């Protein structure tokens, strides 16, 4: 490998790893309130949500985590929800990855460790 390409590879690797979402905490998220207008199964067992403004969000591998489309349609379709969206790139950008989904005080899904 040429010396000139080493910085490029490092920058590429750093950029990629800064987009990986893991061990998200509530303070590492942006909160939004939105109304869900569509829920579908995505690739790799993801659950995709679309809001009334046409924006898309997803729960990574949600179907593997015990969620199902029928229950979600009953609970959140056409209702206003609060989403915790994970921030990436050192907190400078917000992803469409849902870290927590709630309606009022009821948490429908969370990746956060809850204190009991």
Query: Could you report the per-residue pLDDT of 24-74, keeping only the tens digit for each?
Result: 788 889 999 999 999 999 999 999 999 999 999 999 999 999 999 999 999
Q: Of the candidates 77, 22, 80, which has an alpha carbon nearest to the alpha carbon of residue 49? A: 77
Contacts of 58 (CB under 8 A, 6+ apart): 42, 46, 47, 48, 49, 96, 97, 98
Instruction: Classify residue 61: in a domain, yes or no.
Output: yes
- Write out the residue range of the structural domain in which residue 38 sits: 22-110
Strand partners, 83: 32, 101
How many C-beta atoms surround the C-beta of residue 108 within 10 A?
17
Tokens of 85: 């969206």
CATH of the domain at 77: 2.40.50.140
Q: Look up the pTM and report it.
A: 0.77
Torsion sign, CA atoms 52, 53, 54, 59: negative
When divided into structural domains, the chain yields a total of 1
Closest by alpha carbon to 98, among 76, 115, 116, 78?
Answer: 76
């Amino acid at each position: 490998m040429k010396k000139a390409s080493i910085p490029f590879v490092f920058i590429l690797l750093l950029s990629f790893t800064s987009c990986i979402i893991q061990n998200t905490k509530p303070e590492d998220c942006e909160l939004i309130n939105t109304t869900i207008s569509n829920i579908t199964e995505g690739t790799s067992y993801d659950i995709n949500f679309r809001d009334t403004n046409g924006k898309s969000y997803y729960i990574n591998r949600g179907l593997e985590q015990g969620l199902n489309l029928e229950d979600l349609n009953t609970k959140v379709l056409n209702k206003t929800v609060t989403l915790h969206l994970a921030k990436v790139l050192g907190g400078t950008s917000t992803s469409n990855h849902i870290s927590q989904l709630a309606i009022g005080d009821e948490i429908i899904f969370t990746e956060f460790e809850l204190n009991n």
